[in-house]
Amino acid sequence: MSRPRAAIVVTGSELVRGDRNDLNGPFFAREALGLGVEPARITVVGDGPDELESVLREAIGTNELCLVSGGLGPTHDDRTVEIVAKVAGLDLRLDPALEQRIEKVSRLIADRLRRPYADFVPGVRKQATLPTGAVPLGPAGTAPGLVVEAGSCVVVVMPGPPAELRRLWPLALDTEPMRRVLADVRPPDRHVLRFYGVSESAVARALEEAGGDGDGVEATICARDFEIHVDLVADAGAQRRVDELAARLRDPLREYLFAEDERSVQEIVLEACRQRGFRLATAESCTGGLVAARLTEVPGSSEVFVGGVVAYADEVKRDELGVPTELLAEHGAVSGEVAAAMARGARARLGADVAVAVTGIAGPGGGTADKPVGLVHFHAVSPDDEVGLQFELPGERAWIRSRSAVTALHLVRRLLARSEHDQA
Amino acid sequence: MSRPRAAIVVTGSELVRGDRNDLNGPFFAREALGLGVEPARITVVGDGPDELESVLREAIGTNELCLVSGGLGPTHDDRTVEIVAKVAGLDLRLDPALEQRIEKVSRLIADRLRRPYADFVPGVRKQATLPTGAVPLGPAGTAPGLVVEAGSCVVVVMPGPPAELRRLWPLALDTEPMRRVLADVRPPDRHVLRFYGVSESAVARALEEAGGDGDGVEATICARDFEIHVDLVADAGAQRRVDELAARLRDPLREYLFAEDERSVQEIVLEACRQRGFRLATAESCTGGLVAARLTEVPGSSEVFVGGVVAYADEVKRDELGVPTELLAEHGAVSGEVAAAMARGARARLGADVAVAVTGIAGPGGGTADKPVGLVHFHAVSPDDEVGLQFELPGERAWIRSRSAVTALHLVRRLLARSEHDQA
């Protein structure tokens, strides 16, 4: 059985102009894949009616599913519903029950803005007008989503704000037309292997030598966040081939393999600390807070992470982290010696068990012949072990900074994994 | 004269699956707009040949320009060049000069990977094979970009890695076919007004009351990074209308207007400090380093920003920022009093003139009836002034954190603007 295909259509003038990056297309695509539906294409289009109609006509005409976001607002520029109805050959009809629900929300907004509700009436009627047979969802704010059949294609239309779209999405899955599309579809078996410290081409070669994909298994190699992910997706009945392939990849790449699930490296670090009862601290120069920001992204990180010092100026390295002035003078702020002193200082001053430090030259200025832009030193300490590292990778400031933040997190991860291994 | 239109086609299986967010489409769109070309749509498509051909056929058939990224690699999955040639009705031909250049790079790679160059020969021939009449660009790595005429459409094909694409893009602009497309096009006059602390709908109303767009001026209102941007784009000859409209918007929205250029709020804050000779520090709890990370994003920030403390645990607030234990006990870590003590402590301990502090509950856990998730306190201090602020906005952890980081930066901006104003 071949998988049904979904076309994804994202509307928004600011998106097609590149003023903002689209998040809804990738969300729809990941959700579709997880359900066993193949995302065929993602099209971003503005609110011009001709272009929008042409995109929706192609999408609806050639796919089992069409997932649309945006263009559900109250103004005349919000044309998605009207054009979906036109393409599907359906009349538009006011839904009185929906109108009442939207009126309720709109009256609150009118009060808040101190405007007469009469100003809102045309918008409310517009938003409560749906193609015949459409199932309304929500609304989220004043915008309802909808699911409607257009010939042999099921069309799902969702509001553009990503949070609202994500909130209404489960409701769309629970409608009769969507259940019908998904009735015979089995979510694929997936297995991910995540590697760090190895090149994409080396992983590609290992995959080739392990027999490659095929026979109902599709392998995708993808570099993300400076890690290499191998994503194995199995058609029904091919789960054993996935297991075999995964086993054959583990062996040659063992030293780089660090996860077979989707947890971020910061989650893995926090979990490793939690298991050992360790509290964690950071000391950052060139990453300027990125390592701490990643750690505190994780809900509950406060149980493990005590805090960090962003030590940009040398005086802050000295006063807040206790890095000796002589060390700074002798080796310079960007040195393995100072990275080690920063990590030990953070551990002592912040009352942590484990600490990691980063100091480097992110550029574009500040490089010298001895210490060029892209030179970064790292150091991690735990109660029973420590490890230093340096790299020198030319690149742009933002790239050097995020690469350094990821490197620091993987260094702590390795330090904790190593001492765990020694204890075992 | 109507503007030429560009279709943007981004290829990549990992993009259409939502594994990675596309950056090339928005880049092409912004570049096109800046040149006076209208981006019609951005389509993300995988490497399946039928879908890719159908997308390219539509794009090339209905636009003056088609901007393509990805699918230029050496393997059989990289099909962009072959399909562009097919759609354009052009033969493929090996370019011997280009082959030599790619061979040179590939021999270096073969050496580094310790593989025989013979393994690379088929890929090199493939990458050096272009449609008749195509202008090769680069290569970047081993992948050359190209510009080729397909009937009445000029097609630009660029490698997928964003850094390589951006590097080759200026070369594409400098080719004969692109110069011809752009010959009669004038880049539009643009003017941006940026507001903070006001709702999108209030700005929309002010725009309406100012006469709205039209008469050769297009106005887009867009919420980005918790700011509201009004982007005014003028056709040739309508620059005066833009100036009039901008003037009519400034007046009713003056208290929220903070910039009429594209500098980020962190750049504005750093510049305001630099002008007054102030050094800046941060003290962060719930934002966990995001404020410092934003400030240090800016090249040269080390001249102004001395550093910061991420004080997640109360002990760190006490030991590193000097927040009194009694204050923490009496008011709790999330309070205006503690925010003020954190800001003053950062200023004193880190040797700064100006400091800003954030403490709040980012959730999902940790909220109480008194202090719910989304309650955040801010405080900023300068040598002659200080200001506190709190907000309580329900939302998800990531949203609360980034919203708080932006709020903190705007609070310092306002503090500095205020005292500048008082001095004048």
The enclosing domain of A285 has a CATH number of 3.90.950.20
pLDDT of residue A5: 96
Under 8 Å CB-to-CB from A228, ≥6 apart: which residues?
A194, A195, A196, A198, A199, A200, A203, A221, A222, A256
To test the contact with chain A by mutation, choose from B5, B8, B16, B47 the residue with the greatest count of A C-beta atoms within 10 A, namely B16
pLDDT of residue B113: 76
Q: How many CB atoms lie within 10 A of CB B335?
A: 18
Quick one: A130 and A202 in the same domain?
Answer: no
Q: Per the CB < 8 Å rule, is B306 touching A292? A: no
Assess whether pLDDT exceeds 70 at residue B23. Answer: yes
Assess whether pLDDT exceeds 50 at residue A320. Answer: yes
pLDDT of residue B196: 96
Helices A80-88 & A49-61 angle (0-180, nearest 10): 50
Is the CB of A173 inside 8 Å of chain B's CB atoms? no
Instruction: Among A182, A210, A243, give the residue marking a domain's end.
Output: A182
Residues of A in contact with B365 (CB under 8 A): 299-300
For residue A38, give Cα distances in angstroms to B23, B41, B313.
Answer: 22, 21, 46
Could you give the CA distance from residue B321 to residue B317 in angstroms, rounded to a whole number? 5
How much is the average pLDDT of A226-241? 87
Distance from CA of B337 to the nearest CA of A (A): 20
Quick one: B110 and B68 in the same domain?
Answer: yes
The pLDDT mean for chain A works out to: 93
Is the CB of A295 inside 8 Å of chain B's CB atoms? yes
Assess whether pLDDT exceeds 70 at residue B421. Answer: no
Quick one: A296 and A318 in the same domain?
Answer: yes
Q: Which residue has the higher pLDDT, A277 or B187?
A: A277
Q: Residue B252 belongs to a domain with what CATH number? A: 3.30.70.2860
In the structure, what pLDDT confidence band is assigned to residue B216 with cuts at 50, 70 and 90? confident
Instruction: Among B225, B241, B259, give the residue marking a domain's end.
Output: B259
Instruction: Among A225, A243, A259, give the residue marking a domain's end.
Output: A259
Is the CB of B262 inside 8 Å of chain A's CB atoms? no
The pLDDT mean for chain B works out to: 93
pLDDT of residue B20: 86
- Domain count of the fold of chain B: 3
In the structure, what pLDDT confidence band is assigned to residue B300 with cuts at 50, 70 and 90? very high
How much is the average pLDDT of A221-225? 83
Nearest to A120 by CA among B248, B205, B209: B205
Please write the tens of the pLDDT for every residue from A269-287: 999 999 999 999 999 999 9
Is the CB of A138 inside 8 Å of chain B's CB atoms? no
How much is the average pLDDT of B390-416? 94
Is the CB of B289 inside 8 Å of chain A's CB atoms? yes
Residues of A in contact with B16 (CB under 8 A): 29, 39-42
pLDDT of residue A421: 63
Nearest-by-CA chain B residue for A225: B20
Percent of chain A at pLDDT above 90?
78
Quick one: A326 and A270 in the same domain?
Answer: yes
pLDDT of residue B302: 96
Quick one: B31 and B178 in the same domain?
Answer: yes
Q: Per the CB < 8 Å rule, is A349 touching B319? A: yes
In the structure, what pLDDT confidence band is assigned to residue B270 with cuts at 50, 70 and 90? very high
Local structure of residue B187 (DSSP, 8 states): P
Measured over the CA atoms of residue B27, residue B33, residue B37 and residue B41, the dihedral's sign is positive
Assess whether pLDDT exceeds 50 at residue A424. Answer: no
Reading the block at residue A79, the tokens are 């044309």
How much is the average pLDDT of B115-133? 92
φ/ψ of B260, rounded to 5, equals: -125, 35
Quick one: B379 and B239 in the same domain?
Answer: no
Could you give the CA distance from residue B317 to residue B335 in angstroms, rounded to a whole number? 13
Quick one: B203 and B295 in the same domain?
Answer: no
Could you give the CA distance from residue B138 to residue B143 in angstroms, rounded to a whole number? 8
Is the separation of the CB atoms in B85 and B92 below 8 Å? yes
pLDDT of residue B423: 55
Nearest to B188 by CA among B38, B40, B36: B36
Q: How many CB atoms lie within 10 A of CB A309?
A: 33
Most confident region among A224-228, A283-287, B120-124 by mean pLDDT: A283-287
Measured over the CA atoms of residue A407, residue A408, residue A413 and residue A419, the dihedral's sign is positive
Quick one: A118 and A14 in the same domain?
Answer: yes
How high is the ipTM of this complex? 0.88
Assess whether pLDDT exceeds 70 at residue A325. Answer: yes
**Residue of A20, A46, A307 lying closest to B224 (CB–CB):** A20
Q: Per the CB < 8 Å rule, is A319 touching B224? A: no
**Residue of B20, B293, B301 lying closest to A290 (CB–CB):** B293
Residues of A in contact with B312 (CB under 8 A): 296, 301-302, 305-307
Assess whether pLDDT exceeds 50 at residue B311. Answer: yes
Quick one: B234 and B277 in the same domain?
Answer: no
How much is the average pLDDT of A2-17? 93
In the structure, what pLDDT confidence band is assigned to residue B109 with cuts at 50, 70 and 90? confident
Beta bridge partners of A13: none
Assess whether pLDDT exceeds 60 at residue A1. Answer: no
Is the CB of B369 inside 8 Å of chain A's CB atoms? no
Q: Residue B38 belongs to a domain with what CATH number? A: 3.40.980.10
Residues of A in contact with B398 (CB under 8 A): 297
Assess whether pLDDT exceeds 50 at residue B424. Answer: no
Range of the domain at A309: 265-423
Percent of chain B at pLDDT above 90?
78
Quick one: A214 and A276 in the same domain?
Answer: no
Quick one: A174 and A206 in the same domain?
Answer: no
Could you give the CA distance from residue A276 to residue A291 in angstroms, rounded to a whole number? 21
Is the CB of A41 inside 8 Å of chain B's CB atoms? yes
* Global pTM value: 0.89
Run of H or E residues at A15? helix A13-16
Quick one: B159 and B177 in the same domain?
Answer: yes
Is the CB of A12 inside 8 Å of chain B's CB atoms? no
Assess whether pLDDT exceeds 60 at residue A423. Answer: no
φ/ψ of A149, rounded to 5, equals: -90, 130
